[in-house]
Amino acid sequence: MNIIKEIENLNIGEVLSNINLKDYTTYKLEGTGYCLVIPDDINGLIKLLKYLREKEIKYKIIGNGSNLIFDSNYDGILIKLDSFQNLEIVGTRITVGAGYSLMKLALRVSRMGLTGLEFATGIPGTIGGAVYMNAGAYKSDMGYVVSSIKVLNPNLEVEILENKELEFHYRTSFLQQNPDYICLEATLYLKKGNPQEIMEVINDRKVRRIESQPLEYPSAGSVFRNPEGDFAGRLIENIGYKGKSIGDAKVSEKHANFIINTGHAKGEDIKKLIMEIKDKIKKEYNIDLKVEQEFVK
């Protein structure tokens, strides 16, 4: 019996085989995934992970793929927590499932007059992915609003981790350093504000994003973290890489810290472009740019 059939027999949720990876990353990269599983609930997820560990099969939890760069193929099991969609709003406290859209939540609570998530209205990730990456913008990030998260720990037990345990720093968190902990749900605390003023800020930022970012092309947002006291985009422009292409992967002419897919880019094209930029910046400025995106093998 093959692996996919055995997973189907676990009766834990939706199982898709030979998926097009293009449908699961914001870069829209060409490639094939062996199998994708969407567990119905926590019990299904635990059952799946026990099976995968027992069989020593590699796997990866993904959100909306807004920071992922796959090689042409992924031969392990991809797991999406799309069914984890619970949402409870009580006063300024929000409890939300890991599979819930960050943008959708940010817009919903902003319209209600809750302030603190305005920064997230342009970030196309899930709650789980946003906590994992400590997603942020406009000098704010998840670390400012997340009070605690519910996780599945390495022993496959449900546990609560408080904000101080999550080690939120610029674009990183405890979860990135400890990928065997899986975010299932987050509790956020916001503040009461004026809905009209909040939406004015969001709409103003949206206009500026459209003007300054290549939103008309598939990308994964900023490629590099900004080094302290400087901007990665400025450095990339200075080394002459604005508009540089490898295959259909191209450094945006609108914003040099974005790499865009102009057609049928492959993960290897984007990776090569990223590593070239990283090497040249290191040689030219002795700055070791940190990549915000994740290479998945």
**222: annotated active-site residue:** yes
Write the DSSP assignment of 249-276 as a string of letters: EEE-SS-TTBEEESSS--HHHHHHHHHH
Catalytic position from the list 101, 110, 219, 222: 222
Q: What is the CA 190 to chain-centroid distance, rounded?
A: 22
Contact 279, 241 (CB under 8 A): no
**294: annotated active-site residue:** no
Query: Which residues, 6 or more positions from 127, have their beta carbon under 8 angstroms from its beta carbon?
Result: 96, 97, 98, 99, 100, 101, 102, 105, 183, 185, 186
Give residue for tokens 């101080």: 164
Picking from 71, 135, 76, the residue whose alpha carbon sits closest to that of residue 271 is: 71
β-strands 245-246, 249-251: how paired?
Answer: antiparallel
CA-to-CA separations, 137 to 62, 143, 170, 214, in angstroms, rounded:
21, 12, 10, 16
Catalytic position from the list 66, 110, 118, 171: 171
**292: annotated active-site residue:** yes
Helix 195-212 / helix 102-111 crossing angle, nearest 10 deg: 140
Count of CB atoms within 10 A of residue 65's CB?
A: 26
**Residues catalogued as catalytic:** 171, 222, 292
